[in-house]
Amino acid sequence: MGRQAAFYGFSVEIEGEKMKKISIGLIGLGNIGTGVVKLLQQNEKLIEQKLGAKLVLKKIADINITSPRGIKISKSILTTNAREILNDPEISIVIELMGGYEPARTFVLEAVKNGKHVVTANKAMLATYGNEIFPAAQKKSVDIGFEASVGGTIPIIKTLKESLVANKINSIIGIMNGTCNFILTKMTDEAKSFDVVLKEAQQLGFAEADPTFDIEGIDTSHKMAIVLSLAYGKKVNLKDIYLEGITKISGEDIAFAKELGYRIKLLAIGRLRGDAVEARIHPTMISSGHLLANVNRNYNAFHLVGDASGPVFLFGQGAGMMPTASAVFSDILDSARNVMKGIAGRVPLRSINETGMKDIKLIPMDNIETKYYFRFSVLDRPGVLSKISGILGEHNISLASVIQKAQEEAGPVPIVMTTYKAKEKDVRQALKKIDKLEVVRDKTVLIRIEDEL
Ligand code: HSE
């Protein structure tokens, strides 16, 4: 007979003939949920060896348990009632992969209340209700694992919570949405239109159910809120993160960006400025030689700079069934190991103890300073350029380059200007004046340029 150990309320045999068992329950058998079942089946032995215990998927709940998922699942473990998992005393880890705000939030809170560890990929829920869920979990001494909520397979959560724990994070810049990155890549490299490429992304299955969440940057803002709270150990209010999506990016701007030596990416930029943090998400021109400019298709990446570590670059698939399932398992095994040791809370859920979490001080967008690209749509007449540059000068905006190409047909022509660093507030005021000029025929396009990467 082997040693005995207290193990989730009952005794298990260690070093005995029988392998210890840890029961888990899955809520949500969609794309990622199916990937989790598939990965457990595919790498069962390997997972057992690494864990030193057997993971038993005791129950799977979904509103639809009849559609084929392309994998073998015993009917006896399927249920349409999530409470069969939440109230099962043998299940110690609940995996929430149903997505959406409700009933996901209610289920997670119930799991926590019942003393179960939770693993989730639900960034929208965590970004919105994290300030309710995390303190509740700390109070009950259970884990909330959320590696799969940001960057798909990329271990960004663990990197921030554990690997770079002793660093001040000077900056964290990410490409966090595969759909946007796929669209921008295809628009750049294949000169395809926005709508055509969005359809392709949806067919490939990495767009959200509502693609507005992707293309308007909402999905990125959810991920950014999570990442910032870990990087700075503070609560982040979603609405305070400046947000612009990619719907206004045109082929014309992509072509001008190329000519200027840039590629356009939807970047989430977090930067420490004294005791405050700059947090903004918008299409950004970055030098075509930078690592982030070469993260293409549906790939995600994070470029972090710690005060001790210096630059760290993480790259991988930010979405998809198996890459995301891989991240889910990283959390399942973390919690399973805690279950086996009878411990929890070794690593604080959001980097520091919940009781020490304060609101983060975010810098208002008006006070941000960066470089800019403008595309003016103007009538080709004498004096237009000087009028525009005059207004820019009056607002302390200094020009770095100007492109104007002769056009044979009548009608508006594009004038492209790039600037040195200027203040966002000055830029907005200047563009407001410029857009009122009689010679300006369309709203000026503004894209920020980042050289400080
Ligand atoms: N819709 C997301 C993306 C999926 O395109 O990156 C993963 O969060």
247-268: pLDDT as tens digits: 999 999 999 999 999 999 999 9
For residues 270 and 450, give the distance between their C-alpha atoms in angstroms, rounded to a whole number. Answer: 12
Ligand 1 pocket member 159 (CB < 6 A): no
pLDDT band per the 50, 70, 90 thresholds, residue 99: very high
CA distance 348 to 403: 52
Q: What is the pLDDT of residue 374?
A: 98
How far, in Å, is the centroid of ligand 1 from the Cα of 321? 11
Same domain, yes or no: 163 and 288: yes
Distance 58 CA to ligand 1 centre (A): 28
Each residue's pLDDT tens digit, 382-427: 999 999 999 999 999 999 999 998 777 778 999 999 999 999 999 9
What residues have CB less than 8 Å from 172, skipping those under 6 apart?
160, 227, 228, 231, 270, 271, 302, 303, 304, 305
Which of 123, 147, 179 for a ligand 1 pocket mutation test, highest count of atoms within 8 Å of Cβ? 179
pLDDT given at position 205: 79
Distance 188 CA to ligand 1 centre (A): 20
203 pLDDT above the threshold of 90: no
Crossing angle of helices 384-394 and 424-434, in 10° steps, is 150
Decide if pLDDT at 1 tops 80: no
Which pLDDT does position 204 carry in this prediction?
85
- Reported as a pLDDT band with limits 50, 70 and 90, residue 3 is very low
Question: Is the minimum distance from the CB of 150 to ligand 1 under 6 angstroms?
Answer: no
223 is catalytic: yes
pLDDT at res. 411: 84
Q: Kindly state the greatest CA–CA separation across the chain.
A: 95
Contacts of 160-163 with C-beta under 8 Å, sequence gap 24+, read: 160/227, 160/230, 160/231, 160/304, 160/351, 161/230, 161/347, 161/348, 161/350, 161/351, 162/347
Query: Average of pLDDT values for 85-104?
Result: 97
Q: In terms of domains, do 313 and 326 share one? A: no
Query: Which CATH number do you get for residue 416?
Result: 3.30.70.260
Residue 5: which pLDDT band, with cuts at 50, 70 and 90?
A: very low
CATH at 198: 3.30.360.10
Contact 282, 266 (CB under 8 A): yes
The string of DSSP codes covering 352-408 is B-GGG-EE--BPPGGG-EEEEEEEEEE---TTHHHHHHHHHHHTT--EEEEEE---S
Span 98-117, average pLDDT: 97
The pLDDT-based confidence of 210 (bands split at 50, 70, 90) is confident
Q: Is residue 438 part of a domain?
A: yes
Q: Is the pLDDT of residue 101 over 90?
A: yes
Residue 221 is assigned to a structural domain of this protein: yes
Rounded Cα–Cα distance for residues 261 and 286 (Å):
8
Answer yes or no: is pLDDT of 17 > 60. Answer: no
Per-chain mean pLDDT for the chain? 93
Question: What does the pLDDT read at residue 370?
Answer: 97
Is residue 20 included in any domain, yes or no? yes
Question: What pTM, to 2 d.p., does this model score?
Answer: 0.93
> In the prediction, which pLDDT does 12 show?
45
Q: Is residue 214 lining ligand 1, measured as CB closer than 6 Å?
A: yes
Residues 334 and 314 in one domain: no
Residue 189: which pLDDT band, with cuts at 50, 70 and 90? very high
**Distance between CA 22 and CA 2 in Å, rounded?**
18
Residue 120 domain flag: yes
Contacts 24+ apart (CB under 8 A), 190-195: 191/251, 193/251, 194/246, 194/247, 194/249
Calculate mean pLDDT across residues 16-39: 91
Please tell me whether residues 148 and 256 are part of one structural domain.
Answer: no
How would you list the strands of the sheet with 91-96, edge to edge? 78-79, 54-61, 21-27, 91-96, 117-120, 144-145
Pair (160, 47) in one structural domain: no
Phi, psi for 159 (deg, rounded to 5): -60, -45
Which residue among 123, 180, 219 is best mutated to probe the pocket of ligand 1, counting the most ligand atoms within 8 A of its Cβ?
Answer: 219
Q: Report whether pLDDT(349) > 80.
A: yes
Atom of ligand 1 nearest to the CA of 324: 7
User: How far apart are the CA of 174 and the centre of ligand 1, in A?
Assistant: 13
Ligand 1 pocket, residue 253 CB under 6 Å: no
Domain of residue 392: give its range: 365-450
Ligand 1 neighbour 206 (Cβ under 6 A): yes
Q: Is residue 360 part of a domain?
A: no
219 ligand 1 Cβ < 6 A: yes
Examine the pLDDT at 172 and tell me if it is beyond 90: yes
In contact, 194 and 249? CB cutoff 8 Å: yes
User: What pLDDT, on a 0 to 100 scale, did the predictor assign at position 405?
Assistant: 83
Which of these is catalytic: 223, 235, 358, 443?
223
User: In total, how many domains does the chain have?
Assistant: 3
Residues 309 and 339 in one domain: no
- Do 314 and 326 lie in one domain? The reply is no
> Which three-class secondary structure state does DSSP give residue 308?
coil
Tell me the C-alpha distance between 236 and 278, whole Å: 12
CB 245 within 8 A of CB 216: yes
- Does residue 216 have its Cβ closer than 6 Å to ligand 1? no
